[in-house]
Amino acid sequence: MTGTGRTVGELGEFGLVAAVTARLPQHEGVLLGPGDDAAVLAVGDGRVVATTDLLVEGRHFRRAWSDAMDIGHKAAAQNLSDINAMGAVPTALLVGLGVPPELESGWVEQLADGLREECALVGASVVGGDVTRADVIVLGVTALGDLQGRTPVGRDGAQPGDVVAVAGRLGWASAGLAVLTRGFRSPRAVVEAHRRPRPPYAEGPHAATLGATAMVDLSDGLVGDLGHVARASGVQIDIVSSAFVLEQPLLDVGAALGVEPLGFVLGGGDDYALAACFPAEVELPEPWLAIGRVTEASGEPQVLVDGAPYEGVGGHEHFR
Amino acid sequence: MTGTGRTVGELGEFGLVAAVTARLPQHEGVLLGPGDDAAVLAVGDGRVVATTDLLVEGRHFRRAWSDAMDIGHKAAAQNLSDINAMGAVPTALLVGLGVPPELESGWVEQLADGLREECALVGASVVGGDVTRADVIVLGVTALGDLQGRTPVGRDGAQPGDVVAVAGRLGWASAGLAVLTRGFRSPRAVVEAHRRPRPPYAEGPHAATLGATAMVDLSDGLVGDLGHVARASGVQIDIVSSAFVLEQPLLDVGAALGVEPLGFVLGGGDDYALAACFPAEVELPEPWLAIGRVTEASGEPQVLVDGAPYEGVGGHEHFR
């Protein structure tokens, strides 16, 4: 820890803001960074892409399972990923932070380090925020992005005949969560994947350039998130499960926990991989992996796996 | 209530999102509204202004004192006000919402109505959001704005010789909070001011056009917020208390509670009025009221009231 050993309450709101702000360099394009009523960003494209998420301790993360830097990385990643899924490049993050006064201020500094380092992967900056008191740690994260002239890729453009493909890891984070939930800390690769997802940041803009008709990031799980695409586009999506190569860590977790490892791939969220639909004539480059087809919806738009509705976990529902 | 009588948990995440989204019309300039990974907004100016706040039930609002629509209005107002204080016009709001599953879904719909109606005052739209489960209601609100070619007005440009002026009501919201805290519900005017602040939305851009050198919105209180301007600009700010006209409701609350009503004006927050510094040659139009001067800092930058440090409440500290 790099902190002062003081609690947030001892440091005070303004001391905490100063300590955090000092750790957040501002990149080119930030015309006015933290410290005023609002930040000002250059927007070359004439459009800005914006998304927000609210993360609550105990529900979206646990301090026992992830350190502050991990939590910062992941909170940034899941919002940067939403920008990625539009075909845009993230430019800025704003973070509203609620913390208990007895929290060590070093924890908040490490959180800021994690946010900063994840942002640095895409050239974005943490340009603003807010701190306040809360009984559990709460993070309200907003990401902004730049389409750089590209057409935004929504969820509603999938066409029958399109190929469905994914980029990035699938199932690793949920396999990690499964082992942590059972009190284990290994395989390390999946636990690390739960703590720090690795969204394929280059692939959102890449897919847009390739002509993707629809795209979504996988926060809730492949079948669940493709369900949003199917409903928004009014199509059926047919996934072929043999398209997936099940990596060793997933096989290991499946064997150890007595569960089908394909379930992590099809139903597990939080890897922030991308799923996109492409016209059949598009030649898909690495790392895109074709996993199925878009077809006409016969009845309700839906996602089928090997020709049948998927019976596993079909996406996360926050109020269940 | 316009709700279904169902709880948020019964309606479910996707049902709740659909019910809320249906209440949020999108204005011109919103290229892609709610329902995708991110929203897309037109930005004519080449720059975007962005600010975020986190609001926690019990700390920033109470359901016993404000209804859902009031809370929506106020949550929007305090963020739109930050955009206003830069000299920009708000264009969009994004709202991350954490709610307990047992909350009536109609409450959330009324919250959305309040957000929408406050945004409509300035022509902004609620373009995106997120809902999740939380033990107490939490709102992560982000506002975006357009400078329309104006120079952003920060906190660091105040110059010795400038006139300090305010626009909007001062002290009304904190007088309202004071009576509510003591179990009263009147005077109605101040209670309403606490529930629904009325930021002077036209005056931020107006002040920028008039040549304001520094501007801040009054969320924490006049002396506290001008303290940020004094420190950022390296100046002293001298307020003359006789410049203020104490309106009858403030006099009534002062008399009823046995406190000095000027304390609400100097130390009370949450009215989201504006304070700005202007070169002396600027002729200040209505509703701007000159209340003091910027002078050279002799020693630490500070705010003096009638020549002395202000001994009352000097701004809100979230961890006190």
In B229-268, the residues whose Cβ lies within 8 Å of chain A are 232
Q: Which residues pair with A276 in a beta bridge?
A: A165, A215
Count residue pairs from A and B with Cβ separation < 8 A: 240
Encode pLDDT of A267-306 as tens digits. Answer: 998 999 999 999 999 999 999 999 999 999 999 999 999 9
Best residue in B36, B213, B219 for a mutation probing chain A (most A CBs within 10 Å):
B36
- Give phi and psi for B278, each to the nearest 5: -130, 145
pTM of the model: 0.95
Q: What is the mean pLDDT of residues B149-154?
A: 97
pLDDT, tens digit, 9 for 90 and up, residues B14-60: 899 999 999 999 999 999 999 999 999 999 899 999 999 999 999 99
- Chain B residues touching residue A59 (CB < 8 angstroms): 132-134
Position B317 pLDDT exceeds 70: no
B19 in A contact zone (CB under 8 Å): no
For the cut 80, the answer to whether the pLDDT of residue A312 exceeds it is no
Say if CB B132 and CB B98 are below 8 A apart: yes
Residue type for position A63? R
Instruction: Name the residue of chain A whose CA is nearest to B100's CA.
Output: A319
Measure the CA–CA gap between A147 and A90, rounded to whole angstroms: 9
What does the pLDDT average to over A308-320?
65
Q: How confident is the model at residue B313 (pLDDT cuts 50, 70, 90)?
A: low
- Shortest Cα–Cα distance, A208 to chain B (Å): 14
Q: What pLDDT is stored for residue B319 in this prediction?
A: 63
The angle that helices B203-210 and B68-84 make with each other, rounded to 10 degrees, is 10
Q: pLDDT (tens digit, 9 = 90+) per residue, A180-206?
A: 999 999 999 999 999 999 999 999 999
Tell me how far apart the 2 most distant CA atoms of chain A are, in Å: 62
pLDDT at A39: 96
Per-residue 3-state assignment (H helix, E strand, C coil) for B128-144: EEEEEECCCCEEEEEEE
- With a cut of 70, say whether residue B301 has pLDDT above it: yes
Residues B261 and B158 sit within 8 Å (Cβ to Cβ): no
A103, A137 contact by CB (below 8 A): yes
Q: How far is residue B30's CA from residue B124's CA, in Å, rounded to a whole number? A: 9
Chain B residue at shortest CA distance from A42:
B47
| A62 half-sphere exposure, CB direction, 13 A CA radius | 8
How many residues does the structure list for chain B? 320
Count Cα neighbours of A18 within 13 Å in the Cβ-side half-sphere.
7
- Note whether A128 contacts B40, CB cutoff 8 Å: no
What pLDDT shows up at residue B318? Answer: 55
Q: Write the pLDDT tens digit of every residue in A82-126.
A: 999 999 999 999 999 999 999 999 999 999 999 999 999 999 999
Q: Do B128 and A50 lie within an 8 Å CB cutoff?
A: yes
Maximum pairwise Cα distance, chain B: 62
Does residue A159 or residue B4 have the better pLDDT? A159
pLDDT at A211 over 90: yes
For B244-276, give the DSSP string: ----HHHHHHHHHHTS-THHHHHH---S--EEE
| Kind of pairing between the strands at B303-305 and B308-309 | antiparallel
Partners of A165 in the β-ladder: A276, A290
What are B236-276's pLDDT values in tens digits? 999 999 999 999 999 999 999 999 999 999 999 899 999 99
* ipTM of this predicted structure: 0.94
Q: For residues B294 and B234, give the distance between their C-alpha atoms in angstroms, rounded to a whole number.
A: 10
Residues of B in contact with A136 (CB under 8 A): 135
DSSP structure string for A207-258: HHHHT-SEEEE-SS-HHHHHHHHHHHHTEEEEE-GGG----HHHHHHHHHHT
Coil, helix or strand at residue A62: coil
**Residue A3 in this model has a pLDDT that exceeds 60:** no
Question: Looking up tokens 């100063």, which residue turns up?
Answer: A18
> Which residues of chain B have a CB within 8 Å of the CB of A97?
54
- List B residues 177-216 in contact with A (Cβ-Cβ < 8 A): 215-216
**Given the structure tokens 């120079």, which residue do they identify?**
B151
User: Residue B138: its chain A contacts at CB < 8 A?
Assistant: 54, 56, 98, 134, 138, 140
CB of A155 within 8 A of CB of A103? no
What's the confidence (pLDDT) of residue A319?
63
Asked whether the beta carbons of residue B48 and residue A43 sit closer than 8 angstroms, the reply is: yes
